[in-house]
Amino acid sequence: MAKKIKKALKKLKKQQRQYEAAMAAGGAPIGGGMGANAARGQGLLGGLSGLLPSRRSEQFLVGLLVGAAAAYVLSDEELRGKIVKSGLKLYGNLAGGLAEMKEQMADLQAELEAEQAGAL
């Protein structure tokens, strides 16, 4: 039983470190790692270069579309409110998930300490 608790505690600590590292880097904690781009030394955003157009006219058109979409979103008060509300909801869910994970770690630690104290 103690081995299972130790293993679960170790796994939760690893997940928490990954989550906190991803949040500190400004990224999403989903995926559990940086993937092949990190292995090649390109970093988190290294793979995006293949998605972007290479010619100037294509870059201009992409910039034009992104700018038009941003202007539309910023000018529409109802849509802007929905986006802000969704962002706040997402932040609340992430913060709640982190708090729940910390609580689970504390529970596992307390169980492990109680089991070790009982074994002595």
Which amino acid type is present at position 110?
A
Alpha carbon distance 48, 43 (integer Å): 10
Alpha carbon distance 52, 8 (integer Å): 42
* Model pLDDT, residue 98: 95
Looking at per-residue pLDDT, the higher value among 9 and 45 belongs to 9
What's the predicted TM-score (pTM) here? Answer: 0.41
Give 28-73 pLDDT, tens digit per residue: 545 544 455 444 555 655 665 666 666 778 888 888 999 999 999 8
* Model pLDDT, residue 43: 63
